[in-house]
Amino acid sequence: MSHPVYHNLIGGAWVPAASGKTFLNLNPADSADVIGAFPSSDAEDVNRAVAAAKKAFITWRLVPAPKRAEILVRAGNLLVQNKEKYARAMTREMGKVLAETRGDVQEAIDEAFYVAGEGRRLFGVTTPSELQNKFAMSMRMPLGVVGLITPWNFPMAIPSWKLFPALVAGNTCVIKPAEDTPLSTYNLMQTLIEAGLPPGVVNIVSGFGPHAGAPLVEHRDVRAISFTGSSEVGSLVGQRAAASFKPVSLEMGGKNAMIVLDDANLDLALDGALWGAFGTTGQRCTATSRILLQKGIAAEFTEKLVARARKLKVGNGLDAGIEVGPQVNRQQIETSQKYVEIALAEGAKLLTGGRALTEGPYAHGNFFEPTVFGSVSPAMRIAREEVFGPVVSLIEFDTFEQAIEIANSIDYGLSTALYTKNVNRAFAAIRDLEAGITYINAPTIGAEVHLPFGGVKQTGNGHREGLSAIDFFTTWKAVYVDYSDKLQRAQIDNQ
């Protein structure tokens, strides 16, 4: 069967991998549906892409930032026009339901318009000098060539979070998209090209992490790496980048807790739990994977959650009425299966789900039943480790203080949610939950692009996307202009 063949984008030209190797991108809902063949790149392709980006930087950095931003505005408008087409392509390559892939494209649109505003800001600071007739200010400068490595679960939104701020700040980019979802990055790139982005300013090398990602991290001409993915790979990337003193932004996994207090609006909490745990088939870094229930409502909440989880419609995300799409690949199914076994062995109680779906309409896809575990204790692995699938654990507690302690007792710190009508508890939780994001009366998923996005502990290394992405993609220059016409020595001549 014939399928499209895609190439890398290097210096404005679409070229195959130097080795000629390719890999197939398959529809996770139907493995017989081949999205296309993509280059399986290696160090040679990365070297060429970085060289192209380095050359393009010479002129791109001199384009006034408001002009760079105009390209993003045009790109945003083009994404609006192509939203449906790109969303459908994304569901086909990644699996999540159409409403969510529309949301993914919308996030890239929001990011384009939000970050385009930076073209007329990129504020520096002007401050008095300690010396007379001397002027002092600080400016943001681009870094140069930046390397971007992205995961598959938000295949257009996450590349846009990195590309758009990097570009408006004057950097040139080499992006290595996730091997499961390169097409959405290609679609984003087509948009930038149509919007007028000059050749070489963004280059794409597709392929596998160790072959195409690692050489980008190690390349001496790459000035910074922005990575989103698992904590395991993030740790490797951070260590490799450190060897050449590259700044590296790491956005990684989560084990996000929703706390439901006795006084919560239970129906609201149930809606939030269903959406947070099973939206994107549980494959969001912010997915609700632990639900902490106060004893007074635990039985009722559990019964209702299980009943609703059983009714969720699993299937091809392109079909109307489907609520939970496939997992992205076989490996993710195996991980879900593995954690079901671990949880059972640890004594958790399987309340619903727990199996891969393999019959009838599910025969050629990576489908897994929405799964709920009860009687989970905070020490169990199912309560501490990221599954990244439609699997949620219910943990009961007595007091609010216990809930905070349990929520904080893990190695991750991305998102948290509290359902309560008690404003005092709400503010105490905002203060005490160890996480980059806290929602009150809303699920753990649903970030907006203009707020800081990221987490603490093993979720991140201190950087944030969204609000402070510009901080990562620029470096400060301090500027002193002495107009006294004489040598003035700081810390000496003004004493």
Per the residue annotation, which of 100, 218, 251, 369 is the catalytic one? 251
Closest CB to ligand NAD: residue number: 209
Our CB check for ligand NAD shows the closer of 231 and 294 to be: 231
Does 173 qualify as catalytic in the annotation?
no
CB of 152 to ligand NAD, least distance (A): 5
Q: Does 149 bind ligand NAD (CB under 6 A)?
A: yes
Q: Does 95 bind ligand NAD (CB under 6 A)?
A: no
Choose the binding region for ligand NAD from 86-94, 126-134, 171-179, 292-300 (rule: CB under 6 A).
Answer: 171-179
Our CB check for ligand NAD shows the closer of 147 and 317 to be: 147
Q: Does 176 bind ligand NAD (CB under 6 A)?
A: yes
Choose the binding region for ligand NAD from 104-112, 151-159, 255-263, 484-492 (rule: CB under 6 A).
Answer: 151-159
Our CB check for ligand NAD shows the closer of 296 and 462 to be: 462
Site string for ligand NAD, 326-365 (x = CB under 6 A): ----------------------------------------
Our CB check for ligand NAD shows the closer of 213 and 370 to be: 213
Q: Which residues pair with 418 in a beta bridge?
A: 259, 440
Q: Name which position in 6, 38, 57, 152 contacts ligand NAD (CB under 6 A).
A: 152
Q: Name which position in 386, 400, 413, 463 contacts ligand NAD (CB under 6 A).
A: 386
Contact status, residue 414 vs residue 435, Cβ threshold 8 Å:
yes
Q: Does 179 bind ligand NAD (CB under 6 A)?
A: yes
Window 230 to 259, contacts with ligand NAD (CB under 6 A): 230, 233, 236-237, 251-254
Window 7 to 66, contacts with ligand NAD (CB under 6 A): none
Window 265 to 304, contacts with ligand NAD (CB under 6 A): 285
CB of 404 to ligand NAD, least distance (A): 22
Burial class (CB within 10 angstroms; exposed 0-12, middle 13-18, buried 19+) of 432: middle
SS (H, E, C) the chain: CCCCECCEEECCEEECCCCCCEEEEEECCEEEEEEEEEECCCHHHHHHHHHHHHHHHHHHCCCCHHHHHHHHHHHHHHHHHHHHHHHHHHHHHHCCCHHHHHHHHHHHHHHHHHHHHHHHCCCCEEEECCCCCEEEEEEEEECCEEEEECCCCCCCHHHHHHHHHHHHCCCEEEEECCCCCHHHHHHHHHHHHHCCCCCCCEEECCCCHHHHHHHHHHCCCEEEEEEECCHHHHHHHHHHHHHCCCCEEEECCCCEEEEECCCCCHHHHHHHHHHHHHHHHHCCCCCEEEEEEEHHHHHHHHHHHHHHHHHCCECCCCCCCCCECCCCCHHHHHHHHHHHHHHHHHCCEEEECCCEECCHHHCCCCEECCEEEECCCCCCHHHCCCCCCCEEEEEEECCHHHHHHHHHCCCEECEEEEECCCHHHHHHHHHHCCCCEEEECCCCCCCCCCCEECCEECCECCCCEECCHHHHCEEEEEEEEECCCCCCCCCCCCC
Our CB check for ligand NAD shows the closer of 178 and 292 to be: 178
Site string for ligand NAD, 399-428 (x = CB under 6 A): ---------------x--------------
Our CB check for ligand NAD shows the closer of 122 and 387 to be: 387
Q: Does 210 bind ligand NAD (CB under 6 A)?
A: yes
Per the residue annotation, which of 285, 323, 369, 386 is the catalytic one? 285
CB of 180 to ligand NAD, least distance (A): 7
Window 106 to 135, contacts with ligand NAD (CB under 6 A): none
Does 285 qualify as catalytic in the annotation?
yes
Would you name the residues annotated as active-site residues? 251, 285
Q: Can you give the binding site for ligand NAD, defined by CB under 6 A?
A: 149-154, 176, 178-179, 208-210, 213-214, 217, 228-230, 233, 236-237, 251-254, 285, 386, 388, 414, 459
